[in-house]
């Protein structure tokens, strides 16, 4: 498959592999508490997903503070330590070029909770119940 094929569609195997290596390294760095920062020291942060750009030069790291609290200060703290984190990640996974890293709040948990809430409304349960019976 050509590289152009992946620019707008599904990520390539290499993109997925590099993203998972970065996710694992980032989660390890955040778990070990190697960053001296009052915000990061007081929060448990999960890294559910990393997305790579097709050229592997940009890694978007999706994070979620435990309980979803203080998301903005956590993202700001991670941004302050971006240079250190980028260096540590590149050292651990041995890529030719260290990708730029940007942090985003992972909203997939929130979105799935909204969908669950919608599916549990009386109207939807009633509609689903009648379609199952027919």
Please check whether residue 7 lies inside any domain of the structure: yes
- Range of 50's domain? 3-106
Please report whether residue 18 resides in a domain.
yes
CATH number, domain at 46?
3.30.300.20
pLDDT of the chain, 134 residues: tens digit per residue? 444 444 457 889 999 999 999 999 999 999 988 889 999 999 999 999 999 999 999 999 999 998 888 899 999 999 999 999 999 999 999 888 889 999 999 987 666 667 777 777 887 777 777 554 44
Total domain count, the chain: 1
pTM for the model: 0.76
| Within a domain: 128 | no
CA atoms of 44 and 75, how far apart (whole Å): 13
- Residue 54: strand, helix, or coil: coil
In a domain, 58, yes or no: yes
Among residues 93, 97, 94, which one has the least CA distance to residue 22?
A: 93
Structure tokens at 78: 């991670």
């Amino acid at each position: 498959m050509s590289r152009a094929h992946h620019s707008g569609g599904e990520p390539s195997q290499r993109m997925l592999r590099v993203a998972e290596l970065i996710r694992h390294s980032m989660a390890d760095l955040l778990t070990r508490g190697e960053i001296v920062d009052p915000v990061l020291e007081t929060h448990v942060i999960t890294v559910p997903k990393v997305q790579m750009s097709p050229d592997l030069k940009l890694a978007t790291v999706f994070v979620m503070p435990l309980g979803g609290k203080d998301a903005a200060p956590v993202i700001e703290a991670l941004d302050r330590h971006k240079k250190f984190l980028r260096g540590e990640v590149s050292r651990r996974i041995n890529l030719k070029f260290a990708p730029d890293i940007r942090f985003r709040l992972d909203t997939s948990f929130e979105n799935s909770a909204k969908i669950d809430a919608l599916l549990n409304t009386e109207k939807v349960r009633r509609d689903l119940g009648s379609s199952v019976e027919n």
